[in-house]
A and B are shown apart, each in its own frame.
Chain A
Amino acid sequence: MQSTSRHFNSNARKGIADAKLQAALSKLSHGFPVKRLAAMARLPEFEALRDDARDIKEHTLANLGTYLEIYEAKVLESGGHVHWATDAADACEIILGICRDVDAKTVTKGKSMISEEIAVNEYLENNGVQPIETDLGEYIIQLRHEPPSHIIAPAIHLSKEQVAETFRGEHRHLQTGRNLDEPRTLLEEARGELRRKFIAADVGITGANMVIAETGTSIIVTNEGNGDLTQTLPKTHIVIASIEKVVPTLEDATTILRVLARSATGQEMSVYNTFSTGPKRPEDLDGPENYHVVMLDNGRSKMLGGEFHDMLRCIRCSACLNHCPVYKAIGGHAYGWVYSGPMGAVLIPGLQGLAETHDLPGASTFCGKCEDVCPMRIPLPRMLRSWREKAYAARLGSTKARFGLAAWAFLARRPSFYRPIMAFGVGLLALIGRRGRFSTLPLAGGWTASRDLSAPEGTTFLSQWKRGKR
């Protein structure tokens, strides 16, 4: 999709003003984070598993080329094909080529963030192949022509009334007076509509949560079972994976699966974890006859080993989104592309460069919760800070902010000016802010528009220190 990350600030303001979005987001804190804590409490080894998971990925990334070559050889051995794609355009062309080879009219799709990243739906549609998203959330947003607003709950920004409206507009062959009041009736309608499409599809496209070098296997993790119908029923299965998804062994994948669902939805394990290796065997009664893997780089090989290397450990669980005060205030669409939350604010500049995305690293209070909950122990705040430094050094961002920072830096480096000015300012604010907080304040309108600013107590830390008040 076309990125609108350069409009982050206005996107975020729109999100905050959107009452429907705010109602949807307000449910987030009571769902996934609570269940995650409960799942952690049941598994004393959780912290040890996080360490293992991080170490597995670090070892694999340090040997990425070797593991990818071994993986490729194993896929070929099992009768599958591997296609390498340097960027989104390459990947789309490869996928269209495979679809044309089997004369595909319709393609069902399991949920895949990489397929969003390369915008393959649009490409297939423009070339006469109809893609059908089958994950319930993805199906809804495809009908609405929207990008996902959350990695694992793509339609989290919508109310059931909005979904009902979308279904009435799309499923015109159904009775107009039908009841679509509850999530259950909406789910049943989508299930009925998609069942026929699963059976008619010529090609099934899925993502891959991981691929395994030892066996040439790709893994999908789902709760609905749509990914499995997508990859079992059509004659051709295409897996879209990116280079950092490889892990060495079945045991390594197992360790990561133990932290994935718990960090994501708080489930002990997702309902369906499916390990696919090559096409249907001659004696099998079902399964796809062709098995293709599209292995995408799209900027990742350049991130490897550098300042943002740690981001390549990400398993897209969404724990950092679910715990981020900024994400929960503005929603996923504000980030302007397919990823969002802290992982998006680090990854999007990594994949697209800072020029258009330099406001994203500002989407953080540096509370550190994202790193706390990351199953792969990715230092997200450190990397957000690095992006901010780079943006500043490249003279990107608002002139007002740059001027403010420069003025503050000028003073802070000159203690003999800084201390009396601070002492005066703090004293003045304490005097006029005797109520303990400000609801309006000149130059701080951006802050006080949506919350109060606490008033200082009268003296600076340094003067208290000197007086021996410790």
Chain B
Amino acid sequence: MGPRELILGNIAKSLKESALSPSSRQEIETRLSAHANNTVPRRGQGENEAQTALFIAEAERVNATTERLDGLEQVGEAVLRYLASHNLPGSVKVAPHPLLENVDWSKHPTLDVARGRAEDSDQASLSVARAGVAETGTLVLHSGPECPTTLNFLPDNHIVLLPQSQLVGAYEEAWEMLRGDSNAMPRTVNWVTGPSRSADIEQTLLLGAHGPRRLHILIINDKKTT
């Protein structure tokens, strides 16, 4: 008997001898396809504008910075301003995302824009979140040809673009968005709540452990276009 059969056999034996009451295969399949919500905290529920305010407050509580922009045409300027404010060189690795293709980078000749995955030498990246969750100021990003995962972790400065229409109250709503996008899960879904940190030395909280030292969120007002 192989290890798989041995383990599953032991599990079956223990369950049979126990007082636990198993569900039928049908009940389990139904539970999985229903994927019902459990308790969902009320605090994320409300109008989009209230959710946006909550998202900003929660993200800033965990040391992210945020900025509200009126449209995509302001993105280039905002990125330049952000890099300058931290004395960073004017260069950014940008996700090959269709939304960012609409940004007219040529208006900013001093900004060096490269597209693709992140390399160790990249100091700043710009990616696009699939959703923002107001409950805890959490960004939901996922892998794909338009959003390489390395952009979220390698550079010291991570800038994320979040269309305001994609701001939701609870994580469950973000799962529904992803289920609507595709039948299969992306290779990776990243929930990001603030920049990297560690308190492993004497319980002293420090930002920038291995991932980004800074997380800056650009919330784009996209209601005019949708």
Q: Report which A residues bind B (CB closer than 8 A).
A: 24, 27-28, 31, 43-45, 48-49, 52, 56, 59, 61-70, 78, 84-86, 90, 134-137, 140, 153-156, 158-160, 163, 183-184, 186-187, 191, 194-195, 198-199, 213-217, 223-226, 228-229, 232-233, 243, 248-252, 254-255, 257-258, 265, 267-281, 283-287, 295, 297, 301-306, 309
Contacts and interface: CB of A to CB of B under 8 A. Distances in A.
A439 B14 CA distance: 51
A136 B42 contact: no
A191 B187 contact: no
Contact of A65 (B11, B117, B138, B195): B11
B89 interface: no
Interface stretch (B24-32, B72-80, B104-112): B24-32
A286 B148 contact: yes
Given A153-B200, A163-B201, A287 B188 contact: yes
Nearest to A274: B190
B117 A285 contact: yes
Those 9 A-B pairs whose CB atoms lie nearest each other, nearest first: A225-B211, A305-B18, A224-B209, A137-B200, A301-B10, A273-B191, A304-B14, A183-B201, A84-B4
A330 to B, nearest CB: 18
15 contacts: A43-B41, A56-B38, A62-B20, A64-B11, A78-B185, A86-B7, A153-B200, A155-B201, A225-B212, A248-B32, A255-B39, A268-B62, A274-B189, A284-B148, A287-B188
Contact of A187 (B118, B198, B211): B198
Contacts, number: 269
Nearest to A226: B210
B201 A277 contact: no
Nearest to B23: A63
B154 A229 contact: yes
Given A65-B12, A183-B204, A186-B201, A199 B120 contact: yes
Contacts of B148: 284-286
A277 B153 contact: no
B42 A44 contact: yes
Interface in B168-226: 171-172, 175, 184-204, 206, 208-212
A252 B15 contact: no
B98 interface: no
A238 to B, nearest CB: 15
Given A199-B120, A226-B210, A228-B152, A251 B187 contact: no
A68 B11 contact: yes
A302 B10 contact: yes
Contacts of A135: 200
Contacts of A163: 201
A59 B189 contact: no
Contacts of A270: 193
A68 B172 CA distance: 23
Contacts of A52: 38-39
Given A63-B28, A136-B198, A225-B211, A278 B187 contact: yes
B136 interface: yes
Contacts of A28: 203
A356 B194 CA distance: 44
Contacts of B2: 84
Nearest to A191: B210
Contacts of A137: 198, 200-201
Given A249-B35, A286-B117, A233 B202 contact: no
Contacts of A223: 196-199, 209
B95 to A, nearest CB: 9
A191 B208 contact: yes
A198 B143 CA distance: 19
A153 B212 CA distance: 21
B85 interface: no
B191 A45 contact: no
B116 interface: yes
Given A273-B193, A306-B14, 13 more contacts: A62-B21, A66-B25, A86-B6, A154-B200, A217-B185, A223-B197, A232-B150, A254-B38, A268-B61, A271-B197, A281-B143, A286-B150, A309-B18
A224 B197 contact: yes
A49 B38 contact: yes
A63 B190 CA distance: 29
A23 to B, nearest CB: 10
A283 to B, nearest CB: 4
B203 A286 contact: no
Given A187-B209, A251-B172, A65 B15 contact: yes
A302 B210 contact: no
A65 to B, nearest CB: 5
